Amino acid sequence: MTRTPRTFGQVTEDSLTQVGAPEPAVVEDQTNKPRPGRKPAGDHPAQLNVRLAEESMQLLNKAFAIESVEPNGATSIGGWVGDAIETYAKLSPARRAQLARSLPTGGGDMKVRAYRIPDAVWDRLDAAVVEDRKTGRRSGRSSFAQEAIGVALQRFHSEG
């Protein structure tokens, strides 16, 4: 009984074992690809979506307007948000938990705002979220940023 080779498209089963047979396609490694919404490594801005109450958004705009004229003030609202996240991320997980408990609970209309922050802030943010998770706090990037903004606005409000 003779064997009939199976056909795979234009490649036969027998041609796969012959010299000069087509090599299998190379599949691109996806492990080092940037996450969606982020640019490759560097100090490029990336977008962060944060839910804030209208009152918080107004206070954030006011804080930015006042602090932007200072010598080391942020040059954009995203920069101000980035500074708030970095300052908050430098605190210990226990201190962040304590400050988070002091924030008012979200009431009223909450709206999502997108802020463009530097990659270095993303790295700090991610590291702080991991630290918090090790202590049992379950927050993500957006809620961490929401807390950081809330704490910065409390500081601004108490100083101003």
- What is the DSSP track for 55-115? HHHHHHHHHHHHHTTSTT--SSHHHHHHHHHHHHHTS-HHHHHHHHHHSPPP-S-EEEEEE
- pLDDT tens for 73-132 read 788 888 899 999 999 999 999 999 999 999 887 667 889 999 998 878 988 999 999 999
H or E segment and range at residue 42:
none
- pLDDT tens for 53-74 read 988 899 999 998 888 888 887 8
Cα dist. 77→58, 64, 84 in Å? 12, 6, 11
Cα–Cα distance for residue pair 34/132, rounded to 1 Å: 24
Cβ within 8 Å of residue 18, ≥6 positions away: none
Percentage of the chain modeled with pLDDT above 70 = 69
> What is the pTM (predicted TM-score) of this model?
0.70
pLDDT of 20 strictly over 60: no
